[in-house]
Amino acid sequence: MLNKTYGQPCPIARTLDVIGERWTLLVIRELLLGPKRFKELLAMLPAMGANRLSARLRVLVENNIAQPTKSIVTAYELTSFGEQLRKPLLALGLWGLNLSMDERIDSTAVRAELVALSLSGVSRPGASDGIRAAYEFQVGAEVFHIRVDDGEVLTRSGPAPAADVIIRCDLATFVALSIRQISAEDALYQNRARLIQGQPSMFEHLFQMLEYSPKNVPHSLLALNLSSFTGTLQNES
């Protein structure tokens, strides 16, 4: 049972009763990337603590937002009801890009898969219609994939079950691709990205679908010290 309530007959207040507690939206953010085991969630949110994570998961399960998977190893996944939070949560994140960067935030803690998750929320309407493909990214130690399915774009943790394209690059390059500081074609030409599998044209078209204009990118994101992310492909291979 919930311990707190705003006590107001308002859908916004009721929503906050359930998902407004600290850390809850970040747990949902991680589940937007696919099923996660308890230890995986705790690894991504270490400051949350095991007890608080257990409490938040319990509330999400009680309210049919998340559920245990039916696999041998217990994990948590979003229900169809919980999946309805994808668009509003991604929209909230994009709104938050306009906030100035808090000096207490470690900019080197950027995760490429979270950048990709945000990009999936700005895919150009109609640009991916009729396209069905899976794009796997190996960015440093991270592995994730972007699945395009006839207008629907989803970012998921882990390797793609059947990747059409596999790209390897460092975090600086992926961020630069995401905010259009470099084109996919130039990233390949300059050897900042390596195409492990698939056609260059598919890699290039992906970032045409995930169009986020530089003029709309807040200075707080452009101000990130990208040089601190830089690694060499030789070191990653």
Which pTM was predicted?
Answer: 0.86
Structural contact between residues 211 and 153, judged by C-beta atoms closer than 8 angstroms: no
**Residue ranges of the domains in the chain?**
11-84, 107-236
Provide the pairing of β-strand 66-68 with 76-78: antiparallel
Residues of the chain with pLDDT > 70: what percent? 86
Helix (H) or strand (E) holding 148: strand 142-149
DSSP lists the bridge partners of residue 142 as 139
pLDDT digits (tens, 9 = 90+) for 56-98: 999 999 999 999 998 878 899 999 999 999 999 998 988 887 7
Per-residue confidence at 237, pLDDT binned at 50, 70, 90? very low
**Mean pLDDT, the chain, whole residue set:** 86
> Does residue 231 or residue 56 have the better pLDDT?
56
Of residues 165, 99, 171, the one with CA closest to residue 136? 165
Contacts of 187-195 spanning 24+ positions with Cβ under 8 A: 191/233, 192/233, 193/167, 193/168, 193/169, 194/167, 194/168, 194/169, 194/233, 194/237, 195/165, 195/166, 195/167
Asked whether residue 105 carries a pLDDT value surpassing 80, the answer given is no
Asked whether residue 225 carries a pLDDT value surpassing 70, the answer given is no
What single-letter DSSP state applies at residue 159? -
Would you put residue 230 in left (φ > 0), alpha (ψ -120 to 50) or beta? beta
Per-residue confidence at 220, pLDDT binned at 50, 70, 90? very low
Asked whether residue 111 carries a pLDDT value surpassing 60, the answer given is yes
For residues 167 and 126, give the distance between their C-alpha atoms in angstroms, rounded to a whole number. 24
Chosen CATH of 107-236 out of 3.30.530.20, 3.30.1050.10, 3.30.420.40, 3.10.20.30: 3.30.1050.10
pLDDT at position 99: 79
Residues of the chain with pLDDT > 90: what percent? 60
User: For the domain 11-84, what is the CATH code?
Assistant: 1.10.10.10
Mean local confidence (pLDDT), 154-158: 95
